[in-house]
Amino acid sequence: MAGITAMPSALRNFHLPLTGETYERLKEEAAREGRPATSVAREAIEGWLGERRRQFVREEIAAYAATVAGSEADLDTGLEKAAVEHLIEGGKKR
């Protein structure tokens, strides 16, 4: 459907008890940046979740690669040969 854009996700509240030290560090960082502590905390959580997701994907790819190593699903030999030739030729030009 042309012209329709996705609505931003509704914000939901999440109660997160923090130690006194963590709370104070969060407030200090928020004050230093001139931003609300909730924004700083949200950004930190989103960054951590994003990194966890990237790590999970890396691990899944590595597990798949280990499973198919040496099989027909392994790297295409023609593509591998072309890549090696490209690297060798690139080294000669430098």
pLDDT tens, residue by residue, 46-82 = 999 999 999 999 999 999 999 988 888 877 888 889 9
The pLDDT score that the predictor gives to residue 3 is 56
Domain range enclosing 48: 20-93
Residue 35, SS3? coil
Identify residue 35 by its one-letter amino acid code. Answer: R
- Quickly list H helices, the chain: 20-33, 37-68, 77-93
pLDDT tens figures, 5-40: 666 678 899 999 999 999 999 999 999 999 999 999
The sign of the CA dihedral 26, 28, 30, 33 is: negative
The structure's pTM equals 0.64
User: How many domains, the chain?
Assistant: 1
> Does residue 28 fall inside a structural domain?
yes
> Does residue 43 fall inside a structural domain?
yes
Q: Which H or E element spans position 71?
A: none
> Does residue 76 fall inside a structural domain?
yes
| Nearest CA among 85, 81, 61 for reference residue 73 | 61
